[in-house]
Amino acid sequence: MGSELNGIQSIATLPVTSELEGDRNGIADGDRSYRTAPVTARQTGHVGRGARVRGALIALPFLWLAVFLGVPTIGLVVYSLWHYQQFVVYHHWTLANYSALFSGTNLIALGTTLELSLLTVAIGLPFAFVVALYTRSLSRRWAYLVLLILVLPFLTNQLLRTFAWRYVLGRDGLVNTLLVHIGIGRVDWLLFSRFSLIVVLIFGVLPFMALPIYASLSRVDDSIVLAALDLGANTRQILFRVVIPIARPGIAVGALLAFVTTIGVSVEPSEVGSPSDLVWGQLIATNAFDLGNVPQAAAYAVVLGLIILVVLLATFRFVKLDELFGTEGRR
Amino acid sequence: MSDITTRDATAVPADRRAVRSSAQARGIGGRWYRWVISGVGLFVVAFMSLPLLVLVIQSFGDSTTFSGLTGGLTTHWYVEFFRDPAVRDSLVASLKISLIVTVCAILIGTPSAYAFARTSFRGKRLLESLVFLPGVMPWLLLGLGMSLLFGNILPNTTSLLPVVLGQITLFLPFAFFLVLMGFRGVDLSLEEAAADLGASTARILFRITLPLIAPWMFGTVLIVFPLSFNEQIVTGELIRSGSTLPLYVGSAIRHGVTPEINAVGGMLVLPVILGAVIAVLGPSLFRRRQRPVSRANATTAEGSASGTRRQTP
């Protein structure tokens, strides 16, 4: 769309510019210098009521999130500090739900969860980076198609797209059928194992990694790459000293999104994971829905929320969102 | 002047194309590099499309194992699917929920996104990062918190209201973010030109800005609607009565897989694939419709500004 819009823009603005400013601004940068004047005039035109309406409009989503996100979060913390016994929640303050987290099973589950998330990000990130590079090298139309294929699974039902892997990796699944055909024979560790869980988790979070990386890669100007080539840089130098540094915010945000998504999963481990791998999300779900022990589930949830918050703040110290998305309108 | 206009409109993109194609021709690196990138890239594309393809193929099959898919293809399970009243009810509930959620999320998010894109104020950055919180918090956790809240403020309702409110909370950030990107992509000089010609703020918004971000709005619907339609974690935590299609599928899978479930799977996946096809074709449809209109507007603007009429190509 970009170039078409540029065309329309210059057709639409040029006459106005030359009419107002005469020939003072040349053609190439003619629509740069005069810009601020009409906007400020427009904005200061009506301040009183307009400003209040504007304030209310800006506030709307935040009020919504305060009510439906803020209040429930406080509720979770409060519940996690309440006493639970025999399907009844007593409004006595206690730290028992938190001290219960230090049992062996829970600590192993926490370790498994962190290990799975880190493995998923570590294995998935290179693939996401390469597919983003690949997409960047394509023409606009094909790039759209690839991006679409990457996003499609995210838009389908989570349970079904996870479940579909049973047809791919199962005992009589696609991969095993192929393996038998080429004479290697059936492999049993493909499904209900650590392997299948990580494959399915990568499948689930790959779009979260690939899209931000692609967004930041599209900011790598071809002329910079050409300049590096002309200065005699080889492929590795261009990749590690030009492309990756520019793509850094996208890589960081992609890794962050993938990590915080995998750390909270509960569906995938139950559907395709190994029965011996218990993860934090499953503990929350079991306590809240099967056992009805909401205070205990809330304690698990609060710990999960805190881990995510720490990772989030650490990442945003390292990279600014603006670097990825840009702050102002296109100039 | 019309010469200048034409030159300016075409020369710049052509230059960019030249730079881009020469970079592509030379590639970032050597031949092996391009082979590796394309090979791994295509592998990832295959990896990402495989499960959905398998699901669609399986939905026309007669079996619950993959290798059992030898008895030919059938649409029998789709027919069975539409006969089941429980499925029909849950489908209607799902459609109702996602329609309301999509509309509300866009209505709540758009004015704020517009304000964020066009004005600056103190605390903007902080608010902006706060909007993304529901996007990075596990939905399991958000749903648990909201089920506690709705248990207290809406204890007796059997309607879908808690689900709708909960889902709006989930998808508001998506709508806000996508529309914000749309507003940021609009070239400010178009709005300024309209302001110079005496258009009011409201007129600029409705005649210039909103039509320009129509593709982004369209994209927002294409993202939020399927997400809402398929959401099951928060929905499952908040629903009071009845079922949605994803919840129905979930309980059916837990009770044992039947070929009918595969048909439901196909039903859930096919619309998304169709939507995706529309999404790919959509921008070009928009462009074709938009271009003559913009040209015509530009011509009128030029006509009134300089008193000459430029020939429309």
> Can you give the pLDDT at residue B63?
63
Q: Is B153 on the interface with A (CB under 8 A)?
A: no
Give yes or no for a contact between A152 and B49, defined as CB atoms under 8 angstroms apart: yes
CA distance B165 to A68: 8
CA pair distance A287, B271, nearest whole angstrom: 35
Instruction: Verify whether the Cβ–Cβ distance A75 to B149 is below 8 Å.
Output: yes
Tell me if chain A has a CB within 8 Å of the CB of B187: yes
Q: Are A226 and A145 contacting, i.e. CB atoms less than 8 angstroms apart?
A: no
Q: What distances in angstroms separate CA B70 from CA A164, A186, B52, B143, one per listed residue?
A: 18, 19, 19, 42
Chain B positions in Cβ-Cβ contact with residue A257 (cut-off 8 Å): 136
B47 C-beta neighbours (distance < 10 Å), count: 18
Q: Which residues of chain B have pLDDT under 50?
A: 1-26, 289-313
For the record, the structure tokens of A40 come out as: 């400020």
- Cα A70 to Cα A75, A76, B142, B170, B251, distances in angstroms: 9, 10, 10, 13, 31
**Residue pLDDT, tens place only, B190-226:** 888 888 888 888 888 888 888 888 888 888 898 899 8
What is the three-state SS of A253-273? HHHHHHHHHHCCCCHHHHHHC
d(CA B205, CA A87): 55
Chain A residue nearest residue B124, CA to CA: A58
Contacts of residue A120, Cβ cutoff 8 Å, sequence gap at least 6 = A198, A201, A202, A205, A258, A259, A262
Structure confidence at residue B200 (pLDDT): 84
How many residue pairs bridge chain A and chain B with CB atoms within 8 Å of each other?
Answer: 367
Mutate: best of B107, B110, B144, partner A, most A CBs <10 A = B144
For residue B39, give the chain A residue with the closest CA: A134
Candidate ranges A76-80, A139-143, B16-20, B194-198; pick with highest mean pLDDT = A76-80
Query: What's the pLDDT at B64?
Result: 60
First to last CA, chain A: 15
Over range A167-172, report the average pLDDT.
86
pLDDT at position A61 over 80:
yes
Which token pair is A258? Answer: 């993938």
Dist. CA B94–CA A158, nearest whole Å: 15
Mean pLDDT of all residues in chain A? 80
- Rg of chain B over all Cα atoms, to the nearest angstrom: 25
pTM of the entire structure?
0.79
Given pLDDT bands bounded at 50, 70 and 90, which one contains residue A296?
very high
Largest CA distance in chain B: 75
Task: Check residue B295 and give its pLDDT.
Answer: 43
Contact by Cβ (8 Å): B190, B197: no
- What pLDDT does residue B257 have? 67
Q: What pLDDT was estimated at residue B99?
A: 95
Q: B6-50 pLDDT, tens per residue? A: 444 444 444 444 444 444 444 555 678 888 899 999 999 999 999
Q: Which residue of A has its CA nearest to B9?
A: A7
First to last CA, chain B: 15
Rounded to two decimals, the ipTM of the complex is 0.78
**What whole-number distance in Å separates Cα of residue A98 and Cα of residue B134?**
24
> Considering only residues 38 to 97 of chain B, which have any Cβ-Cβ distance to chain A shorter than 8 Å?
38, 40-42, 44-45, 47-52, 54-55, 58, 65-68
State residue B106's pLDDT score.
Answer: 94
For every residue of B244-285, DSSP letters joined together read -HHHHHHHHHHT---HHHHHHHHHHHHHHHHHHHHHHHHHHH
Q: Check residue B8 and give its pLDDT.
A: 43
Place A42 in a pLDDT band, splitting at 50, 70 and 90.
Answer: very low
Chain B residues whose beta carbon lies within 8 Å of the beta carbon of residue A225: 23, 28
Contact A319, B177 (CB under 8 A): no
Q: Which residue has the tokens 């039509």?
A: B211
pLDDT at B66: 60
Nearest Cα residue in chain B from A40: B192
Q: How many residues does chain B have?
A: 313
Assess contact for B128 and A324: CB atoms under 8 A: no
CA–CA dist B11, B16 (Å, integer): 9
pLDDT category at A3 given cuts 50, 70, 90 is very low
The pLDDT of residue B78 is 75
Among residues 206-265 of chain B, which lie with CB inside 8 Å of chain A? Answer: 212, 215, 223, 226-227, 230, 232-233, 237, 246, 249-250, 253, 265
Residues 6+ apart with CB under 8 A from A231: none
Cα separation, A167 vs A82, whole angstroms: 44
What is the amino acid identity at position A323? E
Distance separating alpha carbons of residues A185 and A175, to the nearest angstrom: 10
* B191 touches A40 (CB < 8 A): no
| Closest C-alpha to B210, from B90, B113, B300 | B113
How far lies A281's CA from each of A154, A228, A270, in Å? 19, 47, 10
- Kindly give the residue spans of alpha helices, DSSP state H, lying in A23-85: 36-45, 48-65, 71-80
Substitution target from B69, B124, B141, B238 for chain A, most A beta carbons within 10 A: B141
A286: pLDDT strictly greater than 50: yes
pLDDT at A229 > cutoff 90: no
